[in-house]
Chain A
Amino acid sequence: MSILLDKVSIRAGDFGVDGLTMDISTGSYAVLMGRTGCGKTTLIETLCGLRPLAGGRIVLCGTDVSELRPADRGIGYVPQDGALFPTMTVHDQIAFPLRIRKLAPDAIESRVSELSSLLGLSKLLDRLPAGLSGGERQRTALGRALSFHPRVLLLDEPLSALDDETREEVHGVLSDINRHTSVTTLHITHNRADTEALADVVHILSPSGIDPSDP
């Protein structure tokens, strides 16, 4: 199984949830829904290793990553509004994870051009984030998250800041990514339209745990 949460407990200040169990099969697009304040972002940050795990196990593609540093988990993380690096061009954002891994310049360039054409960013490679629209930012953030062939893709409300038209455009991009790369995706949202457009499987996060739901 590609994303496995086994009795996961998370804590953030006064907030806490125990016994979160979820199983997402390889290549599928899973949507986790929950109300604002139910701990969606806290859960994503815990999966990424940005917060300590209070209990349980996280297994990604058969590897127990519970104790691994964020850098070693192989997670492509797209936070709300993208959180692009303000000083880097679109090209450098996508290349950055590969430069950190010290890949050869040729390999980096070919990956950047492959992803930028998949994401429709080829004409924007020299732009800084300040010169991008909301949809372009999210596509750049997706490129950065996908460049290093992550085990899984984690999306934290990636469409919440977008208008309806742009939202549909990015829906298309997300479907394409899932089709082309078969990367297992966990998309967290409170928006029904995202769920209907994208989900293979739907789970609901509530104070009592995670439950499967009909897509």
Chain B
Amino acid sequence: MTTAPHRARADTAFLAALFVFLGLYVALIVAMLVADASFTSPADLWEAIRSDEIQSAAVLSLVTATLSAILSVWFAVPIGYVMTRFSFRGRALLDAVLDIPIVLPPMVIGLSLLILFSTPIGRAIESVVPITYQKPSIVLAQFAVACAFAVRTMIVTFQQIDVRHEHVALTVGCSRGQAFRHVVLPQVRRGMLSAFLLAWARALGEFGPILVFSGAMRMRTEVLPTTVFLELSVGRIDAAVAVSLLMVAAALIVLWIGRSFGLGRIGQ
């Protein structure tokens, strides 16, 4: 028979087990960051940041990730609204399609983009705007993945908005567009910021698709993850770690912005 002291001991053991898992994982995350930081010195870091290649990669990374994140939110807002407010045939299928970029191996996305732009339609586009192995390919590769995350965020956001607000807006004289603009959009601003930050962080870290679709040309299509790869491949671990720390700093800033706007977890 279970006695009270026995139950108390079992509860303590259960809670202890929960905290062991939490502690182990947090320890792994912190240990990785500490290891990075202790591997390099401020002098090495400064040396790396001063190099023309890394500066150019950092600027290109910031510009492309920001463009990709803006584009992602621009698409994710209408897509999320359609997916939460309208029921139609094939909706479940469409919902699954929207998750493909999340589950597909990143390299495959790069390869698929490369092949897409070698088809007749792709070549027709290329004849007007050169994309493959050019800077626009970086934005497209980042957008292809980051948008899927922004869409997920916006779907969750719109699901939390009571549809009766729109119903009332329609009865007081709004068109559907006016109800969306004046009643729905002001309620999803935080969700949009969350989607933007998540997309931005994904885009900044995107590597596989960019390597395949944009190449790894120094000073031309080199973004920060490409720099890490190039520096590692020639054995310059110091520089690779320095660039990694730059990206860690960018990620922490994103987290901090998200928290300071009271978003809770980014992506929700």
Q: Which residues of A contact B (CB under 8 A)?
A: 45, 48-50, 69-71, 73, 75-77, 79, 83, 85-88, 96-97, 100-101, 144-145, 147-148
Contact = CB atoms under 8 A, between A and B. Distances in A.
B4 interface: no
A144 B169 CA distance: 10
22 contacts: A48-B170, A48-B171, A49-B171, A50-B170, A71-B170, A71-B172, A76-B172, A77-B168, A77-B171, A77-B172, A79-B168, A83-B162, A83-B164, A85-B187, A87-B186, A96-B169, A97-B172, A100-B173, A100-B178, A144-B168, A144-B172, A148-B172
Contacts of B174: 71, 100
B236 interface: no
Interface in B220-243: none
B112 interface: no
Interface of B: 162, 164-165, 167-175, 178, 182-183, 186-187
Contact of B167 (A79, A97, A147): A79
Given A79-B164, A83-B167, A100-B178, A148 B187 contact: no
Contacts of B182: 96, 100
A73 B171 CA distance: 7
Contacts of A83: 162, 164-165, 167-168
Given A79-B164, A96-B182, A100-B178, A87 B171 contact: no
B134 to A, nearest CB: 42
A79 B178 CA distance: 20
Nearest to A70: B170
B175 A71 contact: yes
B178 to A, nearest CB: 6
Given A85-B183, A87-B186, A100-B178, A71 B165 contact: no
A101 B182 CA distance: 13
Given A79-B164, A83-B164, A145 B170 contact: no
Contacts of B175: 71
B186 A69 contact: no
B172 A50 contact: no
B188 to A, nearest CB: 10
Contacts of A96: 169, 172, 182
A83 B165 CA distance: 6
A86 B187 contact: yes
Contacts of A101: 173
A147 B252 CA distance: 49
Contacts of B183: 85
A85 B162 CA distance: 10
Nearest to B162: A83
A88 B182 CA distance: 10
The 6 closest A-B CB pairs, nearest first, are: A97-B172, A70-B170, A87-B186, A83-B164, A77-B171, A100-B173
A145 B173 CA distance: 10
A79 B168 CA distance: 8
B204 to A, nearest CB: 31
A69 B170 CA distance: 8
Contacts of A148: 172-173
Contacts of B165: 83, 85-86
Given A85-B183, A86-B187, A100 B164 contact: no
B173 to A, nearest CB: 5
A96 B169 CA distance: 9
B183 to A, nearest CB: 5
B87 to A, nearest CB: 12
A79 B164 CA distance: 8
B175 to A, nearest CB: 6
Contacts of B172: 71, 76-77, 96-97, 100, 144-145, 147-148
B191 to A, nearest CB: 13
B166 to A, nearest CB: 9
A45 B171 CA distance: 10
Contacts of B187: 85-87
Given A85-B186, A100-B174, 10 more contacts: A49-B171, A70-B171, A76-B171, A77-B168, A79-B167, A86-B187, A87-B187, A96-B169, A145-B172, A148-B172
